[in-house]
Amino acid sequence: AQSVTQLGSHVSVSEGALVLLRCNYSSSVPPYLFWYVQYPNQGLQLLLKYTSAATLVKGINGFEAEFKKSETSFHLTKPSAHMSDAAEYFCAVRSSGGYNKLIFGAGTRLAVHP
Partner 1 sequence: DGGITQSPKYLFRKEGQNVTLSCEQNLNHDAMYWYRQDPGQGLRLIYYSQIVNDFQKGDIAEGYSVSREKKESFPLTVTSAQKNPTAFYLCASRWTESNEQFFGPGTRLTVL
Which amino acid appears at position 31 of this protein? P
Query: 3-state DSSP call for residue 61?
Result: helix
Q: Residues 2, 15, 17, 44: which binds partner 1 (CB under 8 A)?
A: 44
Within 6-25, the residues that bind partner 1 by CB under 8 A are: 9
Residue 6: count of CB within 10 angstroms of its CB: 21
Q: Residues 34, 63, 67, 74: which binds partner 1 (CB under 8 A)?
A: 34
Site for partner 1 contains 52 (CB under 8 A): no
Site for partner 1 contains 55 (CB under 8 A): no
Within 66-105, the residues that bind partner 1 by CB under 8 A are: 90, 94, 99-102, 104-105
* Cβ at position 62, least distance to partner 1 in Å: 20
Instruction: Specify the stretch interacting with partner 1 by CB under 8 A; choose among 19-27, 33-41, 55-63, 64-72.
Output: 33-41
Relative to beta strand 56-58, strand 33-38 is unpaired
Relative to beta strand 73-78, strand 87-94 is unpaired
Site for partner 1 contains 46 (CB under 8 A): yes
Residue 85: count of CB within 10 angstroms of its CB: 19
Relative to beta strand 10-14, strand 108-113 is parallel
